[in-house]
Each structure stands twice: as C-alpha cells, then as structure tokens.
A and B are shown apart, each in its own frame.
Chain A
Amino acid sequence: MIVGDRKPLEEILNSIKDYKKIMLMGCGGCVTVCFSGGAKAVGLLASQIKMARKKQGRDIEIIECTPERQCEYEFIDALKKDIESVEAVLSIACGVGVQTMNERHPRTITIPGLNTKFMGYPVEHGFWEERCAGCGDCVLEWTGGICPIARCAKKLLNGPCGGSSDGKCEVDKDTDCVWQLIYDRLKSLNKLDNLTVVREAKDWRTSTNAGQRKIKFEEAML
C-alpha cells in the first residue's frame, strides 16, 4: 500500500490562508488503512483547522468528505457540485489522488495536506516500513523475496557494503542491513548460489529515469 504522513498543521494552515471556504477531502484507500487520510483523519484535521482559524479571528467553512478512492474519476465525480462550490480543496490522499483531482476538476485548485512517503506495509500495528521502490524490473526472484532497491541505502545488487555491521545498516543503527536479511534468507533456503553470480549493471529505464511510465491493458480499454 501507499503510506503517507500528514503535513505539519502550520504548513497546511499557511497553504489555505487565503480561503474562507474549502473542501477537505480524504481517501478511503491506502491512507485510510495507514490512519493518515481516512474519514477519521479528515474529521480531526477539520476541527484543528477550524480551531486555529477561530483563534486568528478568521473563521473558515469546511466541507468534509472521503470518497472511496480519490484516484478514480468515478468516485470524485460524484462530488462535483460540492467541489465547485469551494475556493480550494485540501486533499489528504496520496499525491496520485491530489493530481487526479487537479486534472479532473481544473477550475478548482487541490492542495496536498499529506506527504506521500513510500510503498510498504505495517510490520506491526501503527508502524509501517518501505518495501518497494517501483523500479519496474523486479529482482525479488533471486534475492529471497527481499528488496535491495528499496531497502539498501545504496541500492547495491552484489551484496552488502563494508558498513554492514551486526545485521544493521551503516546509515541507521535501527534499520536492518537488507543484505544481511537477504543472505540469511537465501542461506536458510539453501540458495546462497544466487549470491555468487556477478549481477550486471541495472537497466534503470524501467524506473523513473525515462520520464512518466505507462501501462496499457488492452482488454480493459473501452
């Protein structure tokens, strides 16, 4: 899932300082699951904003809503009337939701209230870790299902750097060295041979380097 983190209140207040009537839009997808952008988060942020603006003596009107997914026309189009009745939309969906709104409803500006962080999952309740960087050419097959692109600070493909120590990464003592994890997993699977092969330089064209990426699924096209 996509994991996000709400922007600091100060920054949000500053970005909507010129408006008297806004819509605060969450999303029922990933950000609901990671507590940062669901209906509950919308309610909480709305009252924080109202309170802050009241203190400034500049009341603000907020329409709250949380479509099932902010990144699909079908769900945001249902809110068209309300969207067009406000000066701006403050979105606490991921960056995809914010852009879907701006493209689909160009007459209304949609402002991000959330920092989109990474693709990951909750390793424990309330604690998420990154797992995939969307490199576009997955190597998990030979790494024992553990990603060195997203989880190694140097994106190494031929084993750990010289800073791997006691299972931890040189960059952060609280982060596992992913190459230690890969080594241990492959050892337990009896597949250490996977690591003796010299892995060639990666073709990064499948990643973000070649500009915007697209996927076509002909069967689904109308």
Chain B
Amino acid sequence: MKQRSRLEKVLSAGKFAVTAELGPPQNADPDVIKKKSQYCLGNVDGANITDNQTAIVRMSSIAAGAIAISCGLEPVVQMVCRDRNRIAMQSDILGAAALGVKNLLCLSGDHQKFGNHPQSNNVFDIDSVQLIAMVKKMRDEKQFLSGDPIKEHEPRLFIGAVENPFADPFEFRVIRLAKKIEAGADFIQTQCVFDVDKFARWMELVVKAGLHEKVYILAGLTPVRSERALKYMKAEVAGMSIPDELISRMEAAGDKEEKKEEGIKICLEMIEKVKNMEGVAGIHLMPIGWESITPVILERAGLLPRPEV
C-alpha cells in the first residue's frame, strides 16, 4: 500500500507501537488541539482523535485531525455510526483522506443518552463491522458501498477497530473480533484494561484462535490520578471491569501527589504485563483529561524515543 501511515509501518516492522488519545474541545479553538498535540508529538505513533465521545458535542474529529496534521502529528481519526448515515460517512472518509488522514478507527459509538443531547435521533444506518467493511471496500476494491466505482484517488486508510474484552457475553467477544478482522480491520485498540487477568484470559482465546496473526492488537490503558475515577467507572460505565485491589491501592496512596505517582506506577506495571503477553502489538494510552502525563509515562516505560521507520 502506498502512503502507509507511521502506525502501520511501526506495526509491520514488528516494533511495539504506542498510540494515545487526544480529545477535541467543546469549542472552535484550534489552539487546544495544537497544545495537546505537543504532548504526543514525537512520543506516539498515532494520536486518536475521538468522535463526539460519550455523545457530547465536540469539534469534529476530522477537523481536529487536520489541525493535528498541521502540527506534524499523525492522527487516528475516529468515526462512530451514531450520527451519520452511509452517505455522510463515505463523504467524510473521502474528505479525511484528502486532508492527509491515514488511519481511521471505526466504532459503533456511545448511545446519545449519555451525552448532552439525549433528545436526538440516532442514525446507526450501518454498524461498526459494516463500517469497517465499507472502508475496506473503498480502499481495496475502489468502490463505494453501493458498488459504484471510485475511479481514482481512493482513500488509502489503515483501518482500525475497537474491542471490549470486558463486555458480555465474554466468549462472544472473540467471535466479534474475528468478524471485525474478516470485515477488514488492520489493527485493534481495546477498551481500558484495568483487570489484567481478565484481559490475559481474553488474549489467550485470541491467540488460540490465531487472530493475533491476522491483526495488530493494542491494549488500551488509562492512567488515573485518584480512586474517584476508578469508582466512577466501576459504578457508572457499562462494560468495565475494575478490580477492588486497584481502588484500595489508590486509596492507600496518601496525598494528591502520591496518588498521581501511584497511578503512574500502576500504569507502568500494566504496560510491563501486557508487553509480555503473546499477541499484544502495542499500547493505546487514554489519559482522560490528563494528556500531559503521556510523555512522562512513555519515558518511564522505556518506550521513548520512538523507533525510526
């Protein structure tokens, strides 16, 4: 494939990849993206730009991705199925590729109930598996979903998908991963791993099914600054598995600074663990509201500097 993304090059060279999340602002200020880009620049192989995450209106992921590109960063633009039908999505895929986007991550999207416009009508014209297949069709078969040809300049995108090893039914999660691979996913980023044992069990099933040889799997990791975030996720966010032991470790950590340090330590331990698991090709950092910690964690984990590719 011509025009390969940095992320694809790193992964295909067999190097341990690093991506991190960059949330667009709830306003029209490009400087927010520019500032957050600095935490990622040179430190990651791709920066995920979320698409109206938790159904809260934010700057468009494609627009924010274009700003990130202007800063020298390679975005992984996220696209959810909640807000657009197949016409708008294909149009945006062409637009994103034209702006220089090389990685696209396909998701169903959080339900609008969780956001700031619960009254809205959702779309879900296609689901995430169908979105993956559509992007692949545009790229490899040079066709729109309808079968109409894309005569030239088809979008060259490295196709990503997500999987949540902690949602139910547990056994189905591997079947679903296989479907996403069959549909055309090149890489997978997982939901935040807090329950390393459960993640290891899922990875075992993935490896047993041979799926790790067909797709690059990046383990999602979220550093936390206090036990509050953990407790909140445990109680409020569906499909999360958070061991009590982690909560008590954070509780025991003392003052604010010590808690931050403990959060970093936990994250570093997890990086070490997932790094040694068969089939894990990299990590995806999601420091929710704490983007400045990205370079610190990566430095201490020995993941810097990033390899030349």
Residues on A lying within 8 angstroms of B by beta carbon are 153-168, 170-171, 177, 179-180, 183-184, 192, 195-196, 198-202, 204
* Nearest chain A residue, comparing its CB with the CB of B165: A162
Given contacts A159-B129, A162-B162, A163-B239, 9 further A-B contacts (CB under 8 A): A153-B122, A154-B108, A154-B111, A156-B127, A162-B108, A165-B240, A170-B110, A183-B169, A199-B130
| 18 A-B pairs with C-beta separation under 8 A | A154-B122, A155-B124, A157-B127, A157-B129, A158-B127, A159-B129, A160-B167, A163-B239, A170-B110, A171-B113, A179-B172, A184-B169, A195-B175, A198-B129, A198-B133, A198-B179, A200-B133, A201-B125
Interface positions of B from 156 to 190, Cβ below 8 Å from A? 162-164, 167-169, 172, 175-176, 178-179, 182-183
Interface positions of B from 113 to 154, Cβ below 8 Å from A? 113, 122, 124-130, 133-134, 145
In angstroms, Cα B108 to Cα A196, docked, is 18
Contact of B124 among A154, A164, A184 (CB under 8 A): A154
In angstroms, Cα B126 to Cα A150, docked, is 15
* Nearest chain A residue, comparing its CB with the CB of B86: A201
Q: Most chain-A CB neighbours within 10 Å: which of B128, B129, B238, B239?
A: B238
In angstroms, Cα B239 to Cα A183, docked, is 17
Interface positions of B from 15 to 42, Cβ below 8 Å from A? none
A161/B108 in contact, CB under 8 A = yes
In angstroms, Cα B134 to Cα A139, docked, is 21
| Cross-chain pair count, CB within 8 angstroms | 100
Interface positions of B from 233 to 249, Cβ below 8 Å from A? 238-240
Contacts of B183 in A (CB 8 A): 198
Contact of A156 among B108, B134, B175 (CB under 8 A): B108
Q: Number of residues in B with C-beta < 8 Å to the partner?
A: 36
In angstroms, Cα B240 to Cα A153, docked, is 19
**Whole-angstrom distance from the CB of B211 to the nearest CB of chain A?**
13
Contact of B128 among A153, A158, A192 (CB under 8 A): A158
* Nearest chain A residue, comparing its CB with the CB of B107: A162
In angstroms, Cα B82 to Cα A200, docked, is 17
In angstroms, Cα B111 to Cα A162, docked, is 11
In angstroms, Cα B32 to Cα A50, docked, is 62
Contacts of B164 in A (CB 8 A): 162
In angstroms, Cα B172 to Cα A158, docked, is 11
Contacts of B281 in A (CB 8 A): none
Tell me whether B81 is interfacial, beta carbon within 8 Å. yes
**Whole-angstrom distance from the CB of A118 to the nearest CB of chain B?**
16
Contacts of A153 in B (CB 8 A): 111, 113, 122
Contact of A204 among B125, B128, B163, B179 (CB under 8 A): B125
**Whole-angstrom distance from the CB of B171 to the nearest CB of chain A?**
8
* Nearest chain B residue, comparing its CB with the CB of A159: B176
Tell me whether B78 is interfacial, beta carbon within 8 Å. no
Contacts of A184 in B (CB 8 A): 169
Contacts of A171 in B (CB 8 A): 111, 113
Q: Most chain-B CB neighbours within 10 Å: which of A157, A166, A179, A201?
A: A201
Tell me whether B191 is interfacial, beta carbon within 8 Å. yes
In angstroms, Cα B130 to Cα A192, docked, is 20
A158/B168 in contact, CB under 8 A = no
A200/B130 in contact, CB under 8 A = yes
Contacts of B125 in A (CB 8 A): 201, 204
Contacts of B240 in A (CB 8 A): 165
A164/B239 in contact, CB under 8 A = yes
A160/B238 in contact, CB under 8 A = no
Known: A155-B124, A201-B86, A201-B125. A162 touches B167 (CB 8 A): yes
In angstroms, Cα B184 to Cα A30, docked, is 46
B163/A201 in contact, CB under 8 A = no
In angstroms, Cα B107 to Cα A156, docked, is 12
In angstroms, Cα B113 to Cα A160, docked, is 17
In angstroms, Cα B90 to Cα A132, docked, is 30
Contacts of A167 in B (CB 8 A): 168
* Nearest chain B residue, comparing its CB with the CB of A197: B179
Contacts of A155 in B (CB 8 A): 124, 127
A170/B172 in contact, CB under 8 A = no
A164/B238 in contact, CB under 8 A = yes
